[in-house]
Structure 1
Amino acid sequence: MAWDAIILGAGAAGMMAAIEAGRRGRKVLVIDHARAAGEKIRISGGGRCNFTNLGIAPERFLSQNPRFALSALKRFTQWDFIARINAAGIAWHEKTLGQLFCDGPATQVVAMLLRDMERAGVTLWLDCAPGAIRQDDKGFALETPRGAQRARALVVATGGKSIPKIGATGLGYQIAGQFGLPVVETRPALVPLTFAEQELAWMRPLAGVSVAARVAAGRARFDEAVLFTHRGLSGPAILQASSYWREGDPILVDLAPGQDMAGALRAAKAAQGKTALRTVLGRWLPERLARHLEEAAGISGPMAELPGATLDRIAAQVNGWRLVPVGSEGYRTAEVTLGGVDTRALDGRTMEAKGVPGLFFIGEVVDVTGWLGGYNFQWAWSSGWAAGQAL
């Protein structure tokens, strides 16, 4: 059967591209091997879908060419998607740092996109794994379990490798390779970090404790929560830093950002010598963490008995905890995939492959990765919209 466009992937980017192309009168087929559309949308944001961010800016996207995303992000903005959410009657709220979440379940966003696709005349085939692809002078031929399909254009919106339990694969990168497009090396991003047994033994008793902290990886700095787990460190600040961290490099964690802990401890010793260290630390840290720092240092006496060198050592651990992760939890828990189809091979305005007319790559499969907090969904909406205008 012949189509104007076949879109591989019924995720955020694929559905957006299909809606836009369908509204422009194109005959569109969306194919996905999953049994349900928009699975990543459904599970995102704790089931509430952090669908965009008020602070979309190019410096909050990682890529070999961070400015590549500018065209799509400027042409279909966060305000444009918010307008669609409002028009659909989906209630939402702003959390921290400009992050927008649905008041109700994320399935509302999936339902909106499915409804818009249906109204635009888009055909959706789920539980349908795409097969061999070939190109000729008429476009693309695709083998499917429902028979061979043809289209003038092929859009790859298959996502990255993150969260394989919901069906993530490297298919998009394989397709890029088939057509000679370079792929920037991929790795898990927005992912918890893991540590050697020595560090892990110190952290394990704190599993479940969350603390407002500053985490630095290279030149990147993030002031958000850090969560101690049985496997290492997680929480927004760690997930953000993970996108910038590389094997062998340290991260620096400040457990009391903005507080001169050395000065505060010495002042407490002078003014409140009978007070326990954990009590003083508890003014800035969670009680379990304050107690753990005291116990791990082998301190039992009051502040008056602690030498200045001991106080400085504790302060350094609070304000400048230096750690070298051994790795991450990998694609299993990574929210996104860093790297992907090289943006040098794509037209930033249309998302079409420069050397392969009619072939488009959108969303996470492209080497554009946003910060935590709705940025990656906005890239999906914007890149999908851009491709939809060109189909």
Structure 2
Amino acid sequence: MFKRVTSLLLIMTLVLTLGVGCSTSGKKQENKKQGAKNKGQVRVGMVTDVGGVNDQSFNQSAWEGLQRAEKELGIKASYQESKQDADYIPNLETLLDGDNDLIWGIGYKVGDALREAAESNPDQKYAIVDYSYGDKTPENVVGVVFKAEQSSFLVGYIAGKMSQTGKVGFVGGIKSNIIDGFDYGYHAGVAYANKLTNKGVQVLRQYAESFDNPAKGKAIANSMYQQGADIVFHAAGGVGDGVIESAKEQGKYAIGVDRDQNYLAPDNVITSAMKRVDVGIYDLVKALKEGKFEGGKTIVYGLEHNAVDIAPTSNKHVPKEILDEVEKLKKDIVDGKINVPNDEKTYKDYLNTLK
């Protein structure tokens, strides 16, 4: 009797073991099938920086580029929103687990996390906006950067020509090589206008040390307007929402960034230094779908690619004669007659050319 019971227990144990094994194997097989199904449609995901996908700035422009690719190229687009720097790595891992063919990091703050992810997953394709790894770019990564100094030069020229008080402002987000391009490009544009008008317009400058604090942006802009500035340009992501809100309340002018931000304050945003992140996103996704993705490099977009410019709504507030002058400046920049600075050293060199 004991032997019979023992035998039955052994048989039951064997059946249960086989059942569990079959269940696990079935789950793995289901996951493999799901992965194969996903590969039938190109999947592209992006990780925002802390400004969030609705920052009215470059994160939103990036998402618009992916949405366009989804509509026109038939890809599957998704995003992971970062609330703090610590979210970058887990968000990149989430997109990796989601079987995406290409994973984007939006903004230079994602740079270190994306490099780590790329080196850990050499078979996964990655891309990043506003960051270049130079000659150390991993073979599975493409950097996409923009000559933001060029569009900033143009809006700086507009500010210098239009200022009635002799003071304009610049509000930066967090100090970096990327924001330096906006900063010194804007200063250079004002300086070029000063050369032509002899108005001696001064630029007030302050950094918010944030990209997602509109209250800080509003406080800085309020201070600048109180000091006599009548036009303030921001390159600060979500912080810029506060700058524009201040312009509305103070009845002053503001200059937007990355996207045409006139819609945020139609009577106050006179122009924007556009950086077409959406163009860079779309172009690389198109190359990916066509099998032309080439990693290990950085792609640079400028005026010659129609990827930076002033906003199309600029004609609402900027006089035609100034806009005509801007068109000539664009040509001079593309032709190399004007070398727009993008940092402190090149700015000092540039000032010497104006003497």
Bin of the TM-score, shorter chain as denominator length:
under 0.3
If each structure's strand is expressed as a fraction of its own residues, which one has the higher value? 1
Larger RCO (CA under 8 A, 6+ residues apart): 1
TM-score normalized by the length of structure 1? 0.26
If each structure's helix is expressed as a fraction of its own residues, which one has the higher value? 2
TM-score normalized by the length of structure 2? 0.28
Q: Higher Cα Rg: structure 1 or 2? A: 2
